[in-house]
Structure 1
Amino acid sequence: MHTVGGIGRQIAYWRTRRGLTQAEFARLMGRSVRWVEDVEAGHRQADPRLSVLARAAVVLHIGIDRLLPPEPNREGVDHDPLAAVRVALRRADLAPTAGAPVEPPDLGVLRRELAYGWTAYAAADYLCLDRVVPPMLVGIGAASVGEGAADPLAPMVVRAGALTLAAAAAHVFGDADLAWRAADRAVTAAGRSGDAVVLARAADRLTAAMVGHEGAGAAAEFALEVEADLAAALGPCGAAGRAALRTLRLGAALATARLGDRSGTRDLLDAAERIDPGAIQVPLYRVTAHVLLGEYGRAVDGRLDPTALAVLPRGRQARHLIDLARALAALGRRGEAVTALLDAEVAAAQEIRCRPINRTFVQEILRLDSSVDGDEARLRALAARCAGKGSTRSERAWIM
């Protein structure tokens, strides 16, 4: 447990750094000056609620981890990279208590935090998400109950985005239950927002989560149902609408590939390509689908050339290279597979080190017989680096 005095000192330190008086900070927190004085002196909140800390983090424009004194290292116990996200979804105090004098947070600040979170996700900077996501979830809980806003649906758009990002983070670290719960709540919030593009993105994340929670068949059926329901609404949304439709079809394609349905997968991939011919996402998904279907030669043949790959976000580059490594290893081309894995690590190290499925793959390929000098040493070094970023969560085999 963190000491209250330590938390109070951190709040006082960051309040001062931001140039806020206790009265100004109290107003932004929706509290009294006496409350701020007591918190900073360590006289209140023997066990501070997550909502209080997250609200303070939003007001002070810092990650929630900055308010927590470091806990001593416990040898042999891995850091849980989703601890705060898990608590934020579980706690009933995500929204302020009825009647509590809490000023809704600045939606502009929350939007910027959300944009930063998605930028970090695209770059496979996954380890920062545990401090970025929880303050957004708690902060938007306050915003969503505000009355008289110029755009009353705007908080739901941000809430849906924050929950979708939480689901994506849970997926990375292999927590199937958390991914499903966050994605399900994201779809609910997105539906209330009235924004078809936001709903399609949340539904795509729920499709991926359903694979590990309810099975690939249910996931594919859900994605196609949502696509049919939203097609008319997404049509007038231009490029964003086309991208959302394409993403839903691609998600359904990967779920169908998991069922071993080659013709169904091919039809869905072709349909996605017809939405936006030339879009780079379709070739990427084709390679992943070939791996899922055991068509390893086709996966290797479909690899993107370095120039095309270089324009993608680093996380997506790494995932494509890992797909290729799986195909190459299955074909017995271990040396090339190791090179692809090391290239993926260069592109986005956390893509390999944080995802349980990828760390497990490194261990699996390590056990294969080596016929190329130097592979063993390179692979063992990679395995050692992966071990340094261990996760306590399930090693479930997800690719989506």
Structure 2
Amino acid sequence: MHTVGGIGRRIAYWRTRRGLTQVEFGRLMGRSVRWVEDVEAGHRQADPRLSVLVRAAGVLHIGIERLLPVESGRAQPEHDPLGAVRAALRRADTAPAAPGPAPDLGPLRRELAYGWTAYAAADYGCLDRVVPPVLAATAGAGVAGVGGGGEVSEPAAVRSAALALTAAVADVFGDDDLAWRAADRAVTSAARSGDVVVLARAAHRLTAAMVGHEGAGPAAEFALGVEADLACVLTARGPAGRAALRTLRLGAALATARLGDRPGTRDLLEAAERADPGAIQVPLHRVTAHVLLGEYTRAIAGRFTPAGLAVLPRGRQARHLIDLARALVAVGRRGEAVTALLDAEAAAAQEIRCRPPNRRFVQELLRLDSADGDESRLRALAARCGANGWTRPERAWIM
């Protein structure tokens, strides 16, 4: 006998992975929101009709076996790297630990360094192995403040970095709520750490999370406020401080670009360059900003050469190539856009397969007229990233 609670949880899991709300999933299923809520909560019949499961699997673009429980001899859903982190954050919310002896930070820092290296390489599956132990070990830092003399709290700094990593990966998987909660806690821990560089890095992550959670306007306002407050002290902190200031300004620039503010975006990009001259992140973000502003020809002109891309982490290579693909589509060069997407997949497949907007972009490309060669390459890519035949209703995601 199937247990609908298990099936309901699997439907909820894959609905979230596909970036669909309960309203959107219900619309695709031809059902009400209440029906979706009841199914996912396990309040429907104990053995759902096979036709319902087949339709749900089709809407979610998965095999039906992914919705069936393991006792039926079927496979369970793919590993969810965010599940254990959500649980760790809930524990912190409901039963915060009291301050205690300082943890051994050496192993925790090494784990976090591994986690950030994996993130840069677009290997997003390790989050639940890295973050929950760090959060548990630094639980006291979540409630302990900086000492009266203003000394730096290293456990709080480590905790902030773990929460920032959580926010970054949650953003990849399209979990805007988790990204915001983790980034907000990262800023709190960073403030308690007493380290302005840690604070600036956490504020940058919160800026990115706010775009998805509250919108570009509040995100830009927050980033600009933090930048104004911290600019002088960050500049005085040497290379690490200047790099953090550059990162803050770049995050503000992208939020501003989403608002269509060309002068403001240009000024912030130039300020980021002044903060950290020669940093490769500035031209990368400049291309992204051009795409967000609809300046597609400029974005294409700013593309990196293969040699320039080769020095970047693989995840950043893929994100740049996806930006380029969006610009190429907008000017009618669809075949080149498909090539750029395939190059992005070769560099870091998870950048396309995990990020909902990128999967939607691939799916939207399938709707455009194209040469047979482009169509076959694109359909093969769509099948690999779970975008073939799946649409999110009432939205266009090409630009």
Do the structures match in fold with TM over 0.5? yes
Q: What's the counterpart of residue 105 of structure 2?
A: 107
Q: What's the counterpart of residue 137 of structure 1?
A: 135
Q: What's the counterpart of residue 386 of structure 2?
A: 387
Q: C-alpha separation between the residues in 1 aligned to 2:396 and 2:165? A: 20
Q: Does 1:264 align with 2:264?
A: yes
Q: How does 1:315-334 map to 2 (within 5 A)?
A: 315-334=315-334
Structure-2 change in CA distance of 1:256 and 1:74 (3 Å): farther
Q: C-alpha separation between the residues in 2 aligned to 1:194 and 1:398? A: 41
Report the CA distance between 1:199 and its aligned residue.
Answer: 0.4
Q: Deviations over 1:233-282 (max 9, x none)?
A: 21222111111111111111110110111111111111211222322111
Are the aligned partners of 1:356 and 1:394 in contact in 2 as well (CA < 8 Å)?
no
Q: TM-score, normalization: structure 1?
A: 0.74
Aligned residue type for 1:175: D
Q: How does 1:227-238 map to 2 (within 5 A)?
A: 227-238=227-238
Q: What's the counterpart of residue 296 of structure 2?
A: 296
Aligned residue type for 1:131: R
For structure 1, list consecutive stretches of 5 or more residues without a partner in the other structure: 1-69
Q: C-alpha separation between the residues in 1 aligned to 2:336 and 2:394? A: 25
Q: What's the counterpart of residue 25 of structure 2?
A: none
Q: C-alpha separation between the residues in 2 aligned to 1:241 and 1:98? A: 32
For structure 2, list consecutive stretches of 5 or more residues without a partner in the other structure: 1-68
Aligned residue type for 1:387: G
Q: C-alpha separation between the residues in 1 aligned to 2:219 and 2:144? A: 35
Report the CA distance between 1:76 and its aligned residue.
Answer: 8.3
Q: How does 1:360-371 map to 2 (within 5 A)?
A: 360-371=360-371
Q: What's the counterpart of residue 374 of structure 2?
A: 375
Q: C-alpha separation between the residues in 2 aligned to 1:388 and 1:261? A: 32
Q: C-alpha separation between the residues in 1 aligned to 2:106 and 2:115? A: 14
Match of 1:91, SS state, is: helix
Q: Deviations over 1:154-174 (max 9, x none)?
A: 100101100111111111100
Moved more, 263-272 or 319-328: 263-272
Structure-2 change in CA distance of 1:110 and 1:269 (3 Å): same
Are the aligned partners of 2:141 and 2:189 in contact in 1 as well (CA < 8 Å)?
no
Report the CA distance between 1:104 and its aligned residue.
Answer: 5.6
Are the aligned partners of 2:363 and 2:387 in contact in 1 as well (CA < 8 Å)?
no
Match of 2:369, SS state, is: coil
Aligned residue type for 1:376: E
Report the CA distance between 1:81 and its aligned residue.
Answer: 3.1
Moved more, 102-111 or 165-174: 102-111
Aligned residue type for 2:300: V
Q: What's the counterpart of residue 207 of structure 1?
A: 207
Q: What's the counterpart of residue 124 of structure 1?
A: 122
Moved more, 111-120 or 376-385: 376-385
Aligned residue type for 2:373: G
Match of 1:155, SS state, is: helix
Q: What's the counterpart of residue 89 of structure 2?
A: 89
Q: How does 1:1-400 map to 2 (within 5 A)?
A: 77=77, 79-92=79-92, 105-142=103-140, 153-371=153-371, 373-387=372-386
Report the CA distance between 1:330 and its aligned residue.
Answer: 1.3
Report the CA distance between 1:388 and its aligned residue.
Answer: 9.1
Q: C-alpha separation between the residues in 2 aligned to 1:79 and 1:311? A: 31
Report the CA distance between 1:188 and its aligned residue.
Answer: 0.6
Q: C-alpha separation between the residues in 2 aligned to 1:352 and 1:134? A: 26
Are the aligned partners of 1:196 and 1:230 in contact in 2 as well (CA < 8 Å)?
yes
Q: TM-score, normalization: structure 2?
A: 0.74
Structure-2 change in CA distance of 1:109 and 1:302 (3 Å): same
Structure-2 change in CA distance of 1:398 and 1:112 (3 Å): farther
Report the CA distance between 1:138 and its aligned residue.
Answer: 1.6
Q: C-alpha separation between the residues in 1 aligned to 2:198 and 2:205? A: 11
Q: What is the number of residues matched between the two proteins?
A: 324
Q: Deviations over 1:330-365 (max 9, x none)?
A: 111111001100111111111111111111111111
Q: C-alpha separation between the residues in 2 aligned to 1:226 and 1:165? A: 20
Q: C-alpha separation between the residues in 2 aligned to 1:125 and 1:383? A: 20
Q: Deviations over 1:214-240 (max 9, x none)?
A: 111111111111111111221222111
Match of 1:80, SS state, is: coil
Q: C-alpha separation between the residues in 1 aligned to 2:343 and 2:313? A: 14
Aligned-pair identity (%): 77
Q: Deviations over 1:359-393 (max 9, x none)?
A: 1111111221112x42222111111111299xxx9
Q: C-alpha separation between the residues in 1 aligned to 2:180 and 2:273? A: 28
Report the CA distance between 1:110 and its aligned residue.
Answer: 0.7
Match of 2:157, SS state, is: helix
Q: C-alpha separation between the residues in 1 aligned to 2:96 and 2:277? A: 47
Report the CA distance between 1:97 and its aligned residue.
Answer: 5.3
Structure-2 change in CA distance of 1:194 and 1:351 (3 Å): same
Q: C-alpha separation between the residues in 2 aligned to 1:219 and 1:337? A: 30
Report the CA distance between 1:134 and its aligned residue.
Answer: 1.7
Aligned residue type for 1:170: A
RMSD: 3.2
Structure-2 change in CA distance of 1:394 and 1:119 (3 Å): farther
